[in-house]
């Protein structure tokens, strides 16, 4: 069982390949080149280095969001295309769930923060890999207030690009390099979900924006 | 021998489209999902909303195109995708989908210039088209004169140095208080007008020059309206519109004929929005006829954005040996001649 993990939600990201639970290889880049130009070349190298044919892939796990809208669509469109052409299932994983899974062994509360600019974040809190609240879009201050009232007795760990961007305010974050979502985490979590009976395909799998477009918001304000 | 089947994918603006064609000319399926209704309330295409609809519609549309053609992905010989010009977020959905399909199947991929696609729409209407031919693409964003020595290749003979012809129509129409797009409005206004009433300048009409310039004409037309207003004179609008339109048509036709004669072609092709102008078409048909040439333009339903035209351009490009690799990116301002 070969599982491909894809993350294109931020400037970093890339692809990882698992054979069952075992990591075959992973490619993460933090560069300005677009995912459109680097995702498939990275996948091609991974497959070649691992001695695996693309036709051997059995499952595609992809980050659906939140994150850069354009980036997400590149990853999701690629996952859809692979799923459709190879006739294999696809599984969507949110960025936040990816962090919750990646830091599941932390003995306290993991607060995943995805930067949404202007001191706002998409966020969700996890304990032992399981969510303890719903994903939400809030001001950073609202998240910190929540932490003070709901999780004050627990050790706290902030993860995600939001924790890097707002490092001064959140303090208890992991070092930036460790805070990146790893495509292998996306692959692992997707594989677990698939084993639990969850799966999607090229038609049903879609991005999780967690925000309406500005045009829609403005139009509703006027209406 | 391959199957000759091309899967075309097009997402450059607000239409999600996929098509299957055979041998570059025979349309087996042509699925176009338009978002016009969605964007109407915003008064124009909202790029982020367009992209969100593209990603949801892309695979249902591809699946329908294959099903309607009665083929599967395995039967396809080439995948062709429009990678520019257009809205970058929209283009990226089609490009990522096409690349993933090609990568997973090993089917060759060809990136197609959307404007080139419009030219190949001429090959899909059942009319007999033979290269070499000379093609004039005229729209709000383009005025390009091309030589197609054989299908899959082209050479730019000339292009506008400033405004596109359609842009000149739009600007003058706006000053007259006419709605967008301005071309059809001016054409309607010009009916019954005398095209010789006012003489407007023609740019770059010297021989051996296939470039265009419409900014001088546009300025002259706007000045004419301004001066009349200052003097309190009433402009006879049909005469004005007919003369203005005639100045554009005259230049376009003269250059097209000059190029067609130099390259000894039997057929000339019009594409782009301005090619829908009946006065323009009739004049070109007449001038071409005098020289023993035939005028071609695409059937109406293939004049708007579709994936069959992308598949056609891509198929001939593929036969000419072009391939795109899996690092292909969307290029919002892709020009003809850029690869
Ligand atoms: Zn077009």
Check CB contact of B213 with chain A, cutoff 8 Å: no
Q: Which residues contact B68 (CB under 8 A, 6 or more apart)?
A: B20, B28, B29, B31
B336 domain residue, yes or no: no
Closest chain A residue to B56, measured at CA: A206
Residues B192 and B281 in one domain: yes
Closest chain B residue to A75, measured at CA: B96
Structural domain count of chain B: 2
Taking an 8 Å cut-off on Cβ atoms, the answer to whether A80 and B93 are in contact is no
Question: Ligand 1 center to residue B310 CA distance, Å?
Answer: 10
Check CB contact of A34 with chain B, cutoff 8 Å: yes
Pair of tokens at residue B55: 């990603």
B235 domain residue, yes or no: yes
Check CB contact of A203 with chain B, cutoff 8 Å: yes
DSSP class of residue B275? Answer: G
B104 domain residue, yes or no: yes
B42 domain residue, yes or no: yes
CATH assignment of A97-178? 3.30.420.40
Summarised one tens digit per residue, pLDDT across range B310-321 is 999 999 999 999
Residues B155 and B107 in one domain: no
Q: Which residues contact A219 (CB under 8 A, 6 or more apart)?
A: B41, B42
Predicted ipTM of the assembly: 0.97
Beta strand pairing call for B155-159 and B143-148: antiparallel
Sign of torsion over alpha carbons B240, B242, B245, B251:
negative
Residues B27 and B153 in one domain: no
Which homologous superfamily does the CATH classification assign to the domain defined by A2-95+181-222?
ATPase, nucleotide binding domain (3.30.420.40)
Check CB contact of A37 with chain B, cutoff 8 Å: yes
Residues B189 and B86 in one domain: no
CATH number of the domain where residue B42 is located: 3.30.420.40
Q: Residue B84: left if φ>0, alpha if ψ -120 to 50, beta else—which one?
A: left
How is chain A split into domains, by residue range?
2-95+181-222, 97-178
Dihedral angle of Cα B271, B45, B213, B286, to the nearest 10 degrees:
30
CA distances from B115 to A66, B154, B246, B265 (A): 34, 12, 25, 21
What string of pLDDT tens digits covers the 339 residues of chain B? 699 999 999 999 889 999 999 999 999 999 999 888 888 788 778 999 999 999 999 999 999 999 999 999 999 999 999 999 999 999 999 999 999 999 999 999 999 999 899 999 999 988 889 999 999 988 877 889 999 999 988 899 999 999 888 888 888 998 888 877 788 889 999 999 999 999 998 887 776 789 999 999 999 999 999 999 999 999 899 999 999 999 999 999 999 999 999 999 999 999 887 888 899 999 999 999 999 999 998 887 888 889 999 999 999 999 999 999 999 999 999 988 776
Residues B44 and B163 in one domain: no
- Chain A residues closer than 8 Å to B105 by CB: 85
Containing structural domain, residue B90: 5-120+303-319
B146 domain residue, yes or no: yes
Check CB contact of B45 with chain A, cutoff 8 Å: no
B334 domain residue, yes or no: no
Check CB contact of B9 with chain A, cutoff 8 Å: no
Q: Which residues contact B303 (CB under 8 A, 6 or more apart)?
A: B118, B121, B271, B273, B275, B276, B297
**pLDDT value at A77 more than 80:** yes
Question: Ligand 1 center to residue B182 CA distance, Å?
Answer: 17
d(CA B272, CA B115): 8
- From B43's Cα to the closest Cα of chain A, the distance in A is 11
- Cβ proximity of B303 and B121 under 8 Å: yes
Question: What is the number of other CB atoms lying within 10 angstroms of the CB of residue B211?
Answer: 15
Pair of tokens at residue A210: 């967690």
Beta strand pairing call for A156-159 and A109-115: parallel
Summarised one tens digit per residue, pLDDT across range B148-198 is 999 988 899 999 999 888 888 888 998 888 877 788 889 999 999 999 999
Long-range contacts (CB closer than 8 Å, 24 or more residues apart) made by B173-177: B175/B222, B175/B225, B176/B225, B176/B237, B176/B241
Closest chain A residue to B61, measured at CA: A203
Specify the pTM: 0.90
Residues B310 and B293 in one domain: no
Assess whether the region A2-95+181-222 and the region A97-178 belong to the same CATH fold.
yes
Residues B286 and B314 in one domain: no
Among B58, B103, B324, the strongest candidate for a mutation testing the A interface, having the largest count of A CBs within 10 A, is B103
């Amino acid at each position: 069982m070969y599982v491909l993990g894809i993350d294109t939600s931020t400037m970093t990201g890339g692809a990882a390949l698992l054979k069952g639970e075992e990591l075959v290889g992973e490619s993460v880049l933090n560069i300005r080149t677009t995912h459109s130009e680097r995702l498939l070349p990275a996948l091609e190298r991974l497959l070649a280095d691992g001695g695996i044919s693309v036709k051997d892939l059995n499952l595609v796990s992809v980050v659906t969001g939140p994150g850069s809208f354009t980036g997400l669509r590149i990853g999701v469109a690629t996952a859809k295309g692979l799923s459709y052409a190879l006739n294999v299932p696809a599984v969507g994983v949110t960025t936040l769930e990816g962090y919750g899974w990646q830091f599941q062994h932390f003995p306290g509360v993991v607060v995943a923060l995805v930067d949404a600019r202007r001191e706002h974040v998409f966020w969700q809190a996890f304990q032992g890999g399981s969510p303890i609240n719903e994903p939400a879009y809030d001001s950073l201050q609202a998240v910190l207030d929540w932490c003070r009232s709901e999780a004050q007795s627990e050790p706290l760990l902030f993860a995600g690009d939001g924790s890097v961007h707002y490092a001064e305010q959140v303090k208890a974050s992991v070092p930036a390099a460790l805070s990146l979502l790893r495509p292998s985490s996306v692959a692992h979590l997707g594989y677990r979900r698939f084993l639990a009976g969850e799966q999607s395909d090229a038609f049903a799998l879609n991005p999780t924006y967690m925000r309406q477009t500005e045009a829609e918001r403005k139009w509703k304000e006027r209406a | 021998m391959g199957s000759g089947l091309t899967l075309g994918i097009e997402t450059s603006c607000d239409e999600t489209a996929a098509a299957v064609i055979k041998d570059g000319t025979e349309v087996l399926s042509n699925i176009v999902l338009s978002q016009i209704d969605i964007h109407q309330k915003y008064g124009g295409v909202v790029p982020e909303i367009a992209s969100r609809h593209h990603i949801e519609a892309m695979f249902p549309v591809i699946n329908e195109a294959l099903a309607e053609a009665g083929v599967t992905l395995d039967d396809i010989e080439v995948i062709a995708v429009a990678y520019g010009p257009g809205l970058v977020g929209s283009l990226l959905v089609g490009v990522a989908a096409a690349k993933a399909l090609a990568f997973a199947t090993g089917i060759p991929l060809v990136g197609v210039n959307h404007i080139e696609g419009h030219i190949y729409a001429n090959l899909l209407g059942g009319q007999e088209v033979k290269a070499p031919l000379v093609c004039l693409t005229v729209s709000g964003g383009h005025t390009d004169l091309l030589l197609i020595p054989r299908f899959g290749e082209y050479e730019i003979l000339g292009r506008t140095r400033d405004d596109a012809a359609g842009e000149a129509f739009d600007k003058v129409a706006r000053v007259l208080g006419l709605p967008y797009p301005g071309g059809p409005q001016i054409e309607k206004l010009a009916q019954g007008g005398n095209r010789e009433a006012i003489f407007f300048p023609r740019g770059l009409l010297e021989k051996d020059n296939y470039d265009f310039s419409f900014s001088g004409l546009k300025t002259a037309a706007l000045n004419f309206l301004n001066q009349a207003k200052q003097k309190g004179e009433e402009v006879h609008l049909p005469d004005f519109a007919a003369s203005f339109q005639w100045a554009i048509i005259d230049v376009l036709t003269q250059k097209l004929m000059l190029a067609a004669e130099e390259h000894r072609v039997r057929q000339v092709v019009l594409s782009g929005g301005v090619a829908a102008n009946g006065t323009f078409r009739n004049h070109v048909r007449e001038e071409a006829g005098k020289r023993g040439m035939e005028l071609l333009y695409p059937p109406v339903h293939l004049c708007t954005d579709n994936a069959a035209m992308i598949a056609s351009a891509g198929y001939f490009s593929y036969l000419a040996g072009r391939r795109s690799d899996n690092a292909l990116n969307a290029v919002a301002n892709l020009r003809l001649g850029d690869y």
